Structure 1
Amino acid sequence: MNSRSIQQFIFWSFTLSFVCFLGPSHAKTEVEQLEDSPRHHEWVDVAYGDGETIRCFLIYPEVKEAADSVIVIHENRGLTDWVRLVGDKLAAEGFVAICPDFLTGKGPNGGGTSSFSNSDEARTAIYQLDQNKINEALDAIVPYLRELPSTTDKVSVVGYCWGGGQCFDFATREKSLKSANVFYGRPPEEGYSNIQCPVFGYYGENDNRINATIPETKEKMKEAGNTYDPVIYAGAGHGFLRAGMEDDASEAEKKAVQEAWDRFIAILKK
């Protein structure tokens, strides 16, 4: 092999390694990844309350047997493409995933999250939501999932940031959940004795606002006789699952994402 061939070999070897390291998720936008997904996606309206509906993004896995379900509760930015992609990644692991849009009907011209012009407007709308309506919608999604022909009766819930708090709250009301997975969300103010499922926490090391609540939450869950298993991921901050999936993520954030995601999937598959 001459020197030119050697240089070309080194160049293409490096290029291939670099592309493999980045992977397709870094080469494409969230929308492009969703469009390229082999899994079935659809929008559904779940009825709740007094004739109201909540718009949800529903994703099916490519499996032959009935699948367990996961409710994915979005951040305070609403149902973004990133959250929908998380749902698709759950379906890739063999679960039916449903991602409700709690901004359904709250946007311009009666739209949902996608109708807001920016995330700040969506965030403002999130904090104006009626908590009772949120509760009613979540309460309706569980039976909706169980009535699908392709699901088992096992339903877990996961939430991120604002959704993490909603996830923990939901566990105090819905006694049939398989597990509640709280990603950097606040704990509930009350209702610990009502929790019937294990609660797993995922927290970034550099998130003192949320992490300051962990010791008291441990005590309250222990007093109630419930399982609460919080894990703090080194070098990561609040919202690390999203941050760690960005192209400019730090090595610590990437490591936190991989470890937290692997743990999350292992819990769901138990």
Structure 2
Amino acid sequence: MPFHKSLQMSKDDSGVTNPLTWLVSSNGDLVRSFLAEFIGTAILVIFTCGTCTATSQNPDTLVSTALSFGLTVACLVFTLGHVSGCHINPAVTIGLLVNGQINLIRSIVYMIAQLTGGIAGAGLLHVILKDSKSNLCATALKVDPIQGIIVECLICFLLVLTVCNVCQSNPEIAPIIIALAVTTGHLFAIPLTSSSMNTARSFGPAVIANFWDHHWVYWVGPLLGGALGGFFHRYIFINKSIYDQCETSSKANDETPNVTTSI
């Protein structure tokens, strides 16, 4: 039987509901989104922290690491954006919560998926690099904590403001624009804070490598920046024509207006 035919069946011959059918139905949306956020964040940590570790002795570390983060995010947004929106970052989730694009329950589910995905990704990377003495590219401050918070806040503000605008105004190229925002943030912040830009990306390696120096900075800075990005877009910088179009469409379908739709 073709795969798409089997997905249309609600029950198998024994009368038991097919778990795969349920998962791809509207009832399984939140579980499917959890898996997308979990797997996406794990992949992000494996490839980006892996690149950072592999190039740590080379002079082009800054550029290669920044490109790794940007390109990995682009791949993931193209691949998983239609499932969960591909936040793969608590700062983005907090920003879209403040922006009114997701509800509290979904945001909590997303952040749990992201944090556990970060741990899983760092754990697998540790297995791959078990013979090395690497700290899995755990984020480390090279400035004082207040400066670190400001830097992390700024780069996450840029990221979330970009996400809030580009996903609706230019959805076809949104993954590329978001990737550029990530790359730009890393080029600026790697020499200062190791450029977390993502609490889950810092949390996973910190747990596995047991490296907690100034770790709180990578919660306060990114989450504050994400929240400010969502706030500024919603109340100051929102594209009114896009919102009006979205609101009209949502009223026709009896839904809450959603400007930053999944890609």
TM-score (structure 1 length as normaliser): 0.24
> Which structure's residues are more often helix, by fraction?
2
Higher relative contact order (CA 8 A, sep 6+): 2
> Which structure's residues are more often strand, by fraction?
1
TM-score (structure 2 length as normaliser): 0.25
